[in-house]
Amino acid sequence: MVEGRMRTGTPPGTRSLARMKPGEKGEVISLEAPDHAGYRRLFALGLVPGATVTLLQRFPTYVFTAGRTTIAVDAGMAEGIWVAVRPSRNRSPQSRA
Amino acid sequence: MGWSSKAGEKARVRVVIVGCPNVGKSVLFGRLTGRYVSVSNYPGTTVEVTRGIGRWAGRTFEVTDTPGLYSLSCITDEERAARALIMGGGSDVLLQVADAKNLDRMLPLTLQLSEAGLPVVLIVNMLDEARRAGLAVDLAGLGDRLGVPVIGAVLTRGEGVEEIKELLAAVGDTGTIQPLVPRYDRQVEAAIRAVEARITGNYGLRPRAMAVLALQEDPEVLDILRARELNWPLVSDLVVRMNQGSEPVRQRIPLVVHRLARRVVTRCLRQVGRPALTPGQVAGDLLLRPMFGLPVLVAVIYFGLYRFVGGFGAGTLVDVLDRTLFLSRLNPWLDRVVDGLFTGEAWRELLAHDYGLLTLGLRYAVAIVLPIVGTFFVAFAVLEDSGYLPRLALLTDRLLKPLGLSGRALIPLTLGLGCGTMATLVTRTLETRRERLLATFLLALGVPCSAQLGVVMGVLSARPHALAVWASAVVVALLAGGTLAAHLLPGRAAPFFMEVPPLRLPSLGNIWRKTTARMVWYFREVLPVFLAASVVIWLGRLTGVFPTVLSGLAGVCRWLGLPKETSLVFLFGFLRRDYGAAGLHDLAPGLPAQAVVVAAVTLTLFVPCLAQTVLMFKERGPVTALAIMGVVFPTAVAVGYVLSRVLSLVGGAAW
Ligand SMILES: Nc1nc2c(ncn2[C@@H]2O[C@H](COP(=O)(O)OP(=O)(O)O)[C@@H](O)[C@H]2O)c(=O)[nH]1
């Protein structure tokens, strides 16, 4: 069972955390976790719809901040975290499609 | 003692400390009871519920520290233990400790506790770190909005402790204020009321809170209701119905609670200054990157384990204690005293001489195990308190994946390098049963405990290539065994996610208190087993059982190309793994290098010590424990055999 599937009508620019670049920032739209326990745990760490996340690094694990909390997740979890990525101003804008 | 008098008994206030992992609960416990139990920077090392007594303002307080609890809807065993304690009703007041920097994550628990009708006091801790992050907390406003007493604190410096004590001393005198509780949408409220109306029993939480947990499909709460409520089928139907569709109520409820918490926080927490960039933050961020993290890891292993535990603990300290204290002074003296006191040979052998309780049991415990385990616990406490361990976990997650483990498992596995028994206990912090099982298996198979490690390094470090052979053989066996087990065991690899705490400068006081607490635990748990093992050895020799077992093991030894004296080492090795290793320490000087390596490898992989075996039965159940033992024993012998063949083939040149 996958918990918390993506809803329809998500804002443009929504990508999974696994497809973000280090330094990119955005709002969490929805979460998919392998099970309800994992979902609740992410929730407890402050990773809730609406939270602002910034990706710090992708390797060897995905590390990002959610609010003032730093969280590390593996690739599998990162793929289930859907983020409306803010267009970055100081970088080339055409790479966001 | 005064507190056991009748009057004192009446006035006793029961205080339970709750909160997320890593917010300062243990520090508060220490401040209130004058005793530090275990302070840790790794979420989840407060394994057991700890109780202590504090006295002030003429009253007696029974303080309980609980394992980390993120929310009332629990996931891990530890959280269940904490909730069971709260539901058990044994508290006059709950002290919820919260991290000021992350109040929005902490307040949902406060709201849930209020919803459950529990008397909660919120301790907003780590105000120093919040200040450094440029944050200002409006404590009075927070108290007004939440409707619960709120106290600000920097617990490590003792700030706020007096205020907490005063408030606790006045418990019961406080007027009734209406605490803030979550309100859900109409549909959910209707469902809550419907479930609530069918709850007749008393479960330590308000029926409304039970209903909210039931609607979130909390397995434990559903079990309770199934067993005790006549109207269970109606409740069950409703719970199932409310959780269908794309927005199940189990997701809607926590979202509402979280939004309410956020609303409160935005009003009471303000960014007033720019966050100061501390050296700790810079270092903490650098350690996340393999380029810096891995070299630091190598340095930690070299200095922390090899030089400090292996060199200083297992070398210098053991030498001083064992050789100069026990072997040349204490033991001969004990032999004489015992011989003078007893005439029977059996008694003399029980207490002194080669295998006596005092000359062997006590000597191994004090002279060999104490310095090694002690230095390891010091090193581990430094790593733990600094916040390094989670960084290690995230760096190694990928490497552990093939073993069916996540980076989380690295903490019990590393602790296993100190004491396999304690590490087996700490596997509780892993989230899936499968991962707990795999970690327990690896700990049993071949993660050498510090006593073993110290002795092996002591024995082999004079021959660096022998040490390298030993290390590679053990690592290969662990990797192969772990990979195979992960493939054979059904189920998915555990997902990895972990909070990364800020890097903090460990304080000497914390390290001291933590190390001593662990040492006390170790000796309480382990010294009796040591002495019991000595008695078993004595009985075995007295009754003639041992020679039979030994001759059986001697066959195995011959097969491995080892002299038959090593069979004794293996036998002791089961009674205590480190005991066996220590026996090897005594034997090694007379053996060829090849035999020492084979013996060391086999012994490392050999069944875990008695204490760890007992704990394995307790934690994983007899079937699993026996299965693990059944795999580990032949594996150890097989690896030893292959190694001895390979080494003979490679031949004498290297040896
Ligand atoms: N800077 C700072 N650190 C604190 C404070 N309180 C606790 N700590 C540190 O936070 C870490 C976790 O504390 P601990 O009591 O083990 O948390 P527990 O898991 O809730 O029991 C330890 O390294 C403490 O030294 C505080 O007020 N300020």
pLDDT given at position B5: 40
> Which of B244, B271, B298 corresponds to the end of one domain?
B271
Long-range contacts, B6-13 (Cβ 8 Å, 24+): B8/B60, B11/B58, B11/B59, B11/B60, B12/B59, B12/B60, B12/B61, B12/B62, B13/B59, B13/B60, B13/B61, B13/B62, B13/B92, B13/B93, B13/B168, B13/B171
Q: Quote ipTM for the complex.
A: 0.86
Per-residue pLDDT of chain A (97 residues; tens, 9 = 90+): 466 555 555 677 899 999 999 999 999 998 887 777 778 888 888 888 889 999 999 999 999 999 889 999 999 999 999 999 998 765 544 443 3
Same domain, B236 and B151: no
Mutate to test the interface with B, among A68, A73, A77 (most CBs of B within 10 A): A68
pLDDT given at position B651: 67
Sign of CA dihedral B328, B331, B334, B340: negative
pLDDT tens per residue, range B552-577: 888 888 888 888 888 888 877 766 55
Same domain, B247 and B121: no
| Alpha carbons A9 and B487: distance in angstroms, whole number | 40
Count of beta carbons in the 10 Å neighbourhood of residue B352: 24
List Cβ neighbours of B506 (8 Å cut-off, separation of 6 or more): B381, B382, B385, B386
Same domain, B353 and B220: no
Same domain, B376 and B289: yes
The pLDDT > 70 percentage for chain B reads: 92
The domain that holds B201 is classified in CATH as: 1.10.287
> Which of B271, B301, B322 corresponds to the end of one domain?
B271
pLDDT tens per residue, range B86-136: 888 778 999 999 999 999 999 999 999 999 999 999 999 999 999 999 999
Ligand 1 atom 7 nearest Cα: B24
DSSP A21-33: PTT-EEEEEEE-B
A41 Cα to the center of ligand 1, angstroms: 21
Considering only residues B120 and B366, tell me which one the structure prediction assigns the higher pLDDT: B120
Q: Which of A6-20, B117-131, B245-259, B592-606 has the highest mean pLDDT?
A: B117-131
A74–B401 CB contact, under 8 Å: yes
Residue B40 in contact with ligand 1 by CB distance below 6 A: yes
Best residue among B39, B105, B511 to mutate for probing ligand 1's pocket (most ligand atoms within 8 Å of CB) is: B39
The answer to whether B286 and B352 are in contact (CB under 8 A) is: no
Q: Give me the domains of chain A, ranges plus CATH numbers.
A: 14-87 (2.30.30.90)
Number of domains in chain B: 3
Same domain, B68 and B145: yes
CB pairs under 8 A between A and B: 102
The domain that holds B131 is classified in CATH as: 3.40.50.300
Contacts B254 to A, Cβ<8 Å: 40, 43
> Lowest mean pLDDT: which of B161-175, B320-334, B507-521?
B507-521
Same domain, B165 and B197: no
In a domain, B393, yes or no: yes
Same domain, B234 and B297: no
In a domain, B554, yes or no: no
Best residue among B26, B27, B78 to mutate for probing ligand 1's pocket (most ligand atoms within 8 Å of CB) is: B27
The pLDDT > 90 percentage for chain B reads: 41
In a domain, B107, yes or no: yes
In a domain, B345, yes or no: yes
Same domain, B236 and B199: yes
Q: What is the mean pLDDT of residues B595-609?
A: 86
Nearest CA in chain B to A67: B102
Q: Is the pLDDT of residue B608 over 70?
A: yes
| pTM score, whole prediction | 0.82
In a domain, B445, yes or no: no
pLDDT tens per residue, range B12-65: 899 999 999 889 988 898 889 865 444 443 334 444 567 788 899 999 998 988
In a domain, B199, yes or no: yes
B102–A4 CB contact, under 8 Å: no
The domain of B40 spans 12-169
Same domain, B191 and B160: no
pLDDT given at position A93: 44
Same domain, B289 and B235: no
Contacts B71 to A, Cβ<8 Å: 40, 44
In a domain, B279, yes or no: no
pLDDT given at position B299: 93
Same domain, B24 and B161: yes
Same domain, B43 and B165: yes
Which residues on adjacent β-strands are paired with residue A52?
A: A27
pLDDT given at position B544: 80
Looking at every residue in chain B, the average pLDDT score rounds to 86
> Which of B169, B204, B228 corresponds to the end of one domain?
B169
